Structure 1
Amino acid sequence: MAEKAVIIVHSGDLDKIYSAMIVANGALSMGMDASLFFTFWGLERLKKNGLDKGPLSKMNFLGLGKWMVKSRMKKANVVSLEKLMTDFKELGGKIIACEMTMEIMGIKPEQLHREWIDDYGAVGTYIMEAKDASITLFI
């Protein structure tokens, strides 16, 4: 059985989404399995055209901070979240969307990038995914 990383993506903040995607892609590139369980504000990033729409977690300054960080990331040749997601899926990463959050927040399946989502589930789905994981993170 391959080692596995399972990340709860709770935050929709741009910098935290980047962190989750970079760690998950790193795990996959090292031969591990990787799963992302998107819940609450993290689930908002799975909406169509929503992946990079979140604010920064600190110093957002009504969007100015986010603009500055994205500008610096571009200069540093940091790949886009869209590319990280494409790589994640191509490398065999698994995405689980939280059904409870969908119900609470009124998110319909047709609002999401269904081609990214491998499973819909609740806490039991996450527990089954994480119980044998080598790495579990909450971002």
Structure 2
Amino acid sequence: MKDGDILEVTATDLGFIRDIESWCKNTGNSLLEKEGAGEKYKAKILKGNKIIDEEITLPKRDIKLPSKKEKTMIIFDGDLDKDIASFIIATGAQTMGNKVHMFFTLWGLSILRKDRTENIKKDFMSKMFSMMLPKGSKKLKLSKMNFLGMGPKMIRNIMKKKGVKSLEDLIKKAIDMGVEITDCQMSMDIMGLKIEELIDGVKVGGVATMLEDNDNSNMNLFI
């Protein structure tokens, strides 16, 4: 779209009415109007702040974009529900023009493991640790109501019915959008994991990398 073009959006999500205003403020676009009732919510958005039609009157306000548009997330946990939330936040932030860094450490490493790998040479302790870790995102448990493995299957089924992307789709989407995903080298050594066992698109770094990203960010989440 060009500056001055108008986009009309229709959504079925009640939260859209509040979110679209925040999105416009954060991205430097102008919300012309919003309305909704029942199951349909509509908004008209002017790209940028350029008025090209005399009939359009924008509310008088100064749009001040954040001075820093970076977010850093440290993913320590290996629970399915928390990891889904992490990637929803990450892709949402990337959509709002942020550069997003996700730093995975300890139990969080399980999310990025391939479900199948060739035999990799390891010492005994490394083999033991890697065997105890879930092998990929499809093997993660819920933090609550796991029900001996039934809980994750139920929540995945509900997500599908509600049109929410699976964790696997969210991970792929995040990488495609440019979210920077880094695995902690020290944690990989402790857990006995090799770079060959991780999904494509993952980088390896350490605490210094995470701290530098944090210095450049205006938000840091530890999950």
Give the TM-score normalised by structure 1: 0.92
Bigger radius of gyration among the two:
2
Q: 2: distance between equivalents of 1:82 and 1:116?
A: 13
| Aligned match of 1:32 | 98
Give the TM-score normalised by structure 2: 0.59
| Aligned match of 1:110 | 196
Q: 2: distance between equivalents of 1:92 and 1:2?
A: 17
Q: 2: distance between equivalents of 1:67 and 1:51?
A: 12
Q: 2: distance between equivalents of 1:2 and 1:94?
A: 17
Aligned positions, number: 137
Q: 1: distance between equivalents of 2:103 and 2:171?
A: 14
Larger helix percent: 1
Q: How does 1:1-139 map to 2 (within 5 A)?
A: 2-49=68-115, 50-113=136-199, 115-117=200-202, 119-139=203-223
Contact kept in structure 1, 2:72 and 2:219, CA below 8 Å: yes
SS of corresponding position for 1:52: helix
Residue segments in structure 2 that go unaligned for 5+ positions in a row: 1-66, 116-135
Contact kept in structure 1, 2:156 and 2:166, CA below 8 Å: no
Q: 2: distance between equivalents of 1:73 and 1:54?
A: 15
SS of corresponding position for 2:72: strand
Contact kept in structure 1, 2:68 and 2:217, CA below 8 Å: no
Q: Which 10-residue stretch deviates more, 18-27 or 68-77?
A: 68-77
Q: CA deviation at 1:55?
A: 0.2
Q: 1: distance between equivalents of 2:138 and 2:68?
A: 31
Between 1 and 2, higher relative CO (CA 8 Å, sep ≥ 6) is seen in 1
Report runs of 4+ in structure 1 exceeding 2 Å deviation. none
Residue segments in structure 1 that go unaligned for 5+ positions in a row: none
